[in-house]
Structure 1
Amino acid sequence: MPHRYPMREIARQAGVSEATVDRVLHGRPGVREGTVLQVEQAIADLDRQRSQLRLSGRQFMIDLVMETPRRFSSMVRAALEAELPGLRPAIFRARYHLHETWPIDDLIATLDGIARRGSQGVVLKAPDTPEVAAAIGRLTTVRIPVITFVTDVPMSTRMAYVGMDNRAAGATAAFLMCQWLRHVDAAVLVMTSSEMFRGEEEREMGFRAAMRRGDPHRRIVDVSGSDGLDVTSRILASAALQEDPTITAVYSIGGGNKGIAGAFAGADRTCEVFIGHDLGPSNRALLRSGHLTAVLHHDLRADMRRVAQTVMSYHGAVAGEYRPQTSEIGVITPYNMPPD
């Protein structure tokens, strides 16, 4: 029996040949397990986006390429797919290339593969390295616009950056920390997932600069390399707490907040102020339980609208040149959380 989607649609979504899709759909041998999963994921993506397939209008296929914890990529994916119907009469579809950790050579191979296959745009969250900048250049050469998301690769040919002003976000965290620790003698633990992401570096720079102005004698303890994962974050935070008994506050730049909270609980230590980023399910639960003091949040659906408008502007589908504004920085507490 014919599949509910044409093979060419599945192949386009999966980024493989129609022959490969045919072998997967009919259970024939000779297909790697990873490719089978890729085709199955493409069909699941089409199921979620099928309302777009019935629309008439200009069609855009974009690729989301992100090295980020699953909790954040799931939020971005949900935000994009929630925005798709509102983009009518334009029809947007998306292919996803999402990894929690990603060897740089594999990431570059994915970007070069998109350059060969074609795309109307790449939304990229990746380390700021010369290799990534060069791959962006190759995409630009074949007229595929690259929009960096959340973290920038400024010394590249990327078309635009979408996300918050990360220095301002770090400074906002420092302002709150100074107010809430005014009468507390404590060192502040600053945790990042990696030293390779420009957005995290800028948040830390903004935080340090504002702390020097507002509370110059406050000691800051840096810990990096968590990959934003809860397990790694707990291990690193536990080691920091064991080494320094004065740490009683945290600015979590790269995530892994459940693990950090677990480290404080395991050490039987109180965290006076705990500021994190992004309003996902885990951070919502930590806010409700009182473990997180505040979360710096930006509206991902608004970000996805900016991405779509940038792509449409590049391809001449909207009048005039569109330049996305930076995202508004929201300070979320347990008492002003927006609906899920």
Structure 2
Amino acid sequence: MRHPYRIREIAAQAGLSQATVDRVLHGRGGVRESTVRQVRQAIAALDRKHAEDPVPSRLFPIDLVVHDRSRVEAALRAESGGLRPAVIRPRFHSAGDPLAALARVARSRSQGVILQAAETPDVVEAVGRLGIPVVTLGADLPASKRVAHVGLDEHEAGATAAYLIEQWLADRAGTVLVVIADEVARGGTAAGQSDLVAASVGVGASLRARLAGFRAELRVRAPHRRVLVAAPGMVRRELAACPSVRAVYDPGSGGAAAVVEAFAELRRNYDVYVASELDDVSAELLRAGKLSAVLHHDLRADVRLACLAVLQGLGALPGPPRSAPASVQVITPLNIPAA
């Protein structure tokens, strides 16, 4: 018997115990046919109630502890209309210090949290103390009391980039240039050794997970492949010093156009360029044949699903909150989505 409601909602509507409703819903024996009819009628009544009387228009103060406020805020603004009549009143906190952010949330009158944070015992404990619905976005906290997880597996995204690059390069020799927008980008070394590890220090959790996934997959597929790490402004210098660069991976530097320009100015070619995050610039570079593929996922959909899960956790929407992991989309010149 499929339904979107909690057992206690159905029990209250039917005037039965939760145990009896549970037996009916799961088809266990020892229940009278009249009781089964009561449960069916209760579900039908709840359907009518929600159709006639949707979520009351009210504000839900929800805290968002995130790394990239501008992108998440833009996604929430774009999706807010689809959440009506519920209205989300967002309060943003930097995920740089999640414990401090969660401590502020605990002192507020927050009704829910959307959280980006690495899994540590302290963070898991802090989530458990809140007593309100917490939905993890991106990185998950499976050991915590979060009610759902939504978002891209960043480690998977990095591994996918390594797979695509090796598919394009096949058995050909060549160095991979990894472009990151960070001051620690320096020098070059064998895949999986100190350079990519050093580049991961001090960056956001999402980028760190992408680099870890890329490093791990490349180590398996091409353990001797050399990797060079550079910020967009350092690309010309690194290309001049390393004539063997044949591939580029950009996990989200925002400098793809500058990298393409650097190759052109030095009259250098590359066999494959895999970038991240589809936007107007990367879409145009794809159409022009300057990028091989862009790894993309729908952040707006993630934010919408996270908000819905919080509302379900509050009982403001029917049904229990459910996790919604997202898979990375490989965008090529042939399947660029319409704007």
Does the pair score TM above 0.5?
yes
**In the alignment, which of 159, 166, 169 is matched to residue 178 of structure 1?**
166
3-state SS in 1 of match to 2:247: strand
Per-residue deviation, 1:76? 3.2
Q: Within 5 A, what are the aligned runs for 1:255-294? A: 255-258=253-256, 259-294=258-293
In the superposition, relative to structure 1, how do residues 284 and 217 fare at CA in structure 2: closer, same or farther (>3 Å)? same
Q: What percent of counterpart residues are identical?
A: 41
Residue 199 of structure 1 is matched in structure 2 by 206
CA shift digits 1:276-331 (9 cap, x unpaired) = 21112332233234332211111223212220222023212334432322113211
Any conservation in 2 of the 1:299–1:328 contact (CA below 8 Å)?
no
Counterparts of residues 68-147 of structure 1 (less than 5 Å): 68=68, 73-97=69-93, 104=96, 109-125=100-116, 128=118, 134=122, 137-138=125-126, 140-147=128-135
Aligned match of 1:244 = 242
State the one-letter code of the partner of 2:60.
F
Q: Point out the structure with max Rg over C-alpha.
A: 2
Pairing 1:316-327 to 2, within 5 Å after superposition: 316-327=315-326
2:161 & 2:134 partners in 1: Cα distance? Answer: 29
**What is the deviation of 1:181?**
1.4
3-state DSSP class of the match of 1:62?
Answer: strand
Unmatched tracts of structure 2, length 5 or more: 1-54, 183-199
The 3-state SS of whatever aligns with 2:325 is coil
Q: Output the CA distance in 1 between the equivalents of 2:332 and 2:229.
A: 25
Contact 1:118 1:144 in 2 (8 A): no
Which segment drifts farther, 167-176 or 74-83?
74-83
Per-residue CA deviations over 1:166-215 (Å, capped at 9, x if unaligned) read 23222322222122112643111234454354433433333334334444
**Aligned match of 2:233:** 235
Question: Unaligned stretches of 5+ in structure 1?
Answer: 1-54, 224-232
Amino acid at match of 1:312: L
Name which structure has the greater RCO, CA cutoff 8 Å, separation 6+: 2
Distance 1:242 1:161 in 2: 44
State the SS of the aligned residue for 1:284.
helix
Matched, 1:187 2:175: yes
Rounded to whole Å, the distance in 2 between the matches of 1:182 and 1:134 is 44
Partner of 2:66: 66
**Aligned residue pairs, count:** 265
- The TM-score, its normalising length taken from structure 1, stands at 0.65
SS of the equivalent of 1:163 reads: strand
RMSD in angstroms over aligned alpha carbons? 3.3
